[in-house]
Structure 1
Amino acid sequence: MTDLATRWKEAIARRRAFRLPGYPSLADEGFDGDYVSPIQLTSGRLDGPMLISKDWLDAPSARLHRDTLRRTGYLPGTPFNRVIDKALALLGLTRADIYITPVFALLTGQRSSVIPMRDRLSSFQAVGRHELLGRRPVAAGRDSAAVLRALGVPHVETIHPSARGLGFDERARRIATALEAA
């Protein structure tokens, strides 16, 4: 096993061990697997550009879309994923060419939950920093950027794919530009 693969396996073990009161784990909801986040089923290239967002998904949505998520690790029709796919198309990349992960490795209790900074920091310190593998990540949105800034992790900041106020194409363009810069 390469050093990269060994270090990634360590990140998976750390995700499995990480717990915070009030948040279900992936295992609690039936999504344990050989990944840090299920989105890595399709976007888990260890040496590819790295995109970090706030979280993977909330527990109720994970339950509701269980079959799709077990196959693909993400929900293709959401604004977040449609913008990511458009950004990748602008760069001539596919999901298999990149690595996507959240700063927060647990599930939230409801959609678009506010995750306190202390919880995001705890999660990234316990799990996410082990996924960097020498990469300079792109922080998609304020929540992930705040964690990386607070911990002194060099990164490129960009808009969250689901951000309001800008059109679909502009969000995709900004994310593509950030991925190129990283």
Structure 2
Amino acid sequence: MIVIIVLAVLSALVITALGNYQATQLNSRRVADLDHLITVVNSHYEINDTIPDPDGNTRKFDHNGNYTHSYTDALGISGYVGSSTFPKTFLAMPIFDPYTKHLYAYGKQYGEKPHFDFGTIINRQGEYISYITGNFSGELLTSLIKDFNSPHFVDDGSPDFLPYDPYDRRVTGRF
């Protein structure tokens, strides 16, 4: 009986350790993917003197963070890094979250030297928080990334507003 209890406790410890290891690996991959996207956008800017708009269901916003239809009133635009965001010479294929298969969030501020942010999720001990990186200074808004399910902007490290749904897994495949 004692042997069974010891084996059960050891099994629980191993399963917990493996879950933490997998979360750490996924988080590392997400951060590395965003670092790669920063290199891509900087290379695109050096060659073309501009950065492209995001793909997907984009949302333009003004200086107050309110939705706007007009490019002339827009401070920036929020969407995702899709297959047509960057020319194939910069990014051959879109990069997906390794677990959910969502595209990474991408926000751009319009201006002479456009600023940008990329966003993903990080699993911290079973709770998802946002991870935002880029060159946006955050003077008027906290980031250039809009929450996937509300009009709010995503704050770096926030568990409340996330760039995409961490529980919605996409099925992908090739033909």
Shared fold (TM-score, shorter chain, > 0.5) = no
Structure ID, larger Rg = 2
Please state which structure has a larger fraction of its residues in strand. 2
Please state which structure has a larger fraction of its residues in helix. 1
